[in-house]
Amino acid sequence: MSDSSTHFKVDFKVPENPSLERDLLGSVLIGGYHAAKDLGVTSEWFYDPRNIEVWQACNEVEAQGGQVDQVSVTSKAKRQALYIDDLCGRASTAANVELFAKELAGFHVRRKAFLSHFHALEACQATEDTQELQKRLEEAFYELTDGVVRDKDQREAKKAFVDLLQSALPNGVPQRGGMTGMLEVDELLTGLKEGSMNTLAARPGRGKTSLAVQIAIETALRGEHVAFYSFEMPFNQIYTKALSYLSRVDVDYYLRTGQGPTENIAMWAGKLTQLPLHIEDDPGLTVHDIASQVRRLSKEHGTKLVVVDYLQLIGSGRQMESRVNEIGIISRELKKCFMQTGVPGLVLAQMNRSIEGREGKPKLSDLRESGSIEQDSDTVMFLHDNPELDTDLTELVIKKNRHGRTGSVPMSWEKSFGRFRPLSNEELTNEPTF
């Protein structure tokens, strides 16, 4: 039988290879510095403090515009002069940098894994808050699996940027982010960019969930995976909105009365279930739970859009005196999640009541607990109409846009189908609608 009180004796050695570190640095000092940088070598690759100091001296020489060699590096790390001389003496050719770097990368990864798990064991013995512990462990694991790749992929990232520039050439296709499916809106936004946080706000009942569902469905129809987090409506209600949008049938009325085009609804329901749309309706999820799931979904399914409905209903998992400060933490964690995964996020938010007693279009300050949301968002949009008027006219007002223009798009809102349609100039009257 196993003893649940078993004590473990830890007697492991930190993964390292001092000889390989010296071989790499020797090749770096005789002309291989830039090749090492291109391969993603950083100070974290070295465990011996002397080697870390020498590598940092190399970086300092380069930063000041100098040539990385024995003389210049020695001038920055004078106390390591004899050691640097020994490093150069053992090097045969700078061409060995790639060979040594590939071997040393393995020790770097194993050391990161070892230290991450070692610190995890230490943290388990402490009286740290459990949720905070889970967050730390998850972030450590994410850095372990993603960090080295980011270091090594600098060359690919630079090449991708050049390709991005070339895509805008006259014979190419201008770069855009994820499309909403509404041409006039996409012209202003220039798409939802990778890793961006896009906030859509409105007063209750003004259609922000319906618009988010429409954008999610349009994305999924292109075969792109969408993760939809609903903190206000259960799965069935979100699916009802999605099916209404697709079928142009008031599915909510059909469910209440049993009256409607059954075959048409059944056909579109079948298509809806085949779309790459993941809906999560657990109201107990914290912002850290969302980040964890998005990381997993983006790795497994290549998620192209995350919808969060809506921000002020999410919990941080912490006990805080100020809800404003808590919203700030939630907003920042969502932004960090989108940036880390490269997935654009469409985050819904509530507006203050102040707009109800004021004429004119919404302002950024009309966001509830607005400071952090406004700061973290790449774009901020408002759905704006006059609820006292019996009309299907509304307006999408873009007040902040880091990647395009600001402005507004008049739209009609077919409420029974949950469908928004931008209006052309010919469809607009000279009379103000609100």
* Highest mean pLDDT: which range of 156-165, 347-356, 373-382: 373-382
Which pLDDT band holds residue 1 (cuts at 50, 70, 90)?
Answer: very low
Strand ranges in 260-343 using DSSP code E only, listed in sequence order: 277-280, 305-309
Please tell me which residue, 411 or 389, carries the higher pLDDT value: 411
Segment 258-295, tens digit of pLDDT: 787 888 888 888 888 888 999 888 888 888 888 888 88
Instruction: Find the length of the chain.
Output: 434
- The domains located in the chain, with CATH, are 18-157 (1.10.860.10), 183-427 (3.40.50.300)
Burial of 409 (0-12, 13-18, 19+ CB in 10 A): buried
pTM of the full predicted structure? 0.62
Eight-state DSSP code of residue 315:
B
Tracing tokens 């409607």 back to the chain, one arrives at: 260
Segment 117-167, tens digit of pLDDT: 666 666 666 655 666 666 656 655 555 545 444 444 445 555 555 555 555
For residue 161, the SS3 value is helix
**Residue 407 pLDDT greater than 90, yes or no:** no
pLDDT of residue 125: 61
pLDDT of residue 149: 41
Cα–Cα dist 148/97, whole Å? 18
208: Cβ contacts below 8 Å, ≥ 6 apart: 200, 201, 202, 309, 310, 348, 383
Which pLDDT band holds residue 308 (cuts at 50, 70, 90)?
Answer: very high
**Residue 73 pLDDT greater than 90, yes or no:** yes
Tokens of 83: 């050691």
Tokens of 26: 């020797």
Least confident range of 163-172, 200-209, 299-308 = 163-172
Cα–Cα dist 206/394, whole Å? 9
Tracing tokens 């570190």 back to the chain, one arrives at: 21
Strand ranges in 297-369 using DSSP code E only, listed in sequence order: 305-309, 345-350
6: Cβ contacts below 8 Å, ≥ 6 apart: none
Handedness of CA 39, 43, 48, 53 (dihedral sign): positive
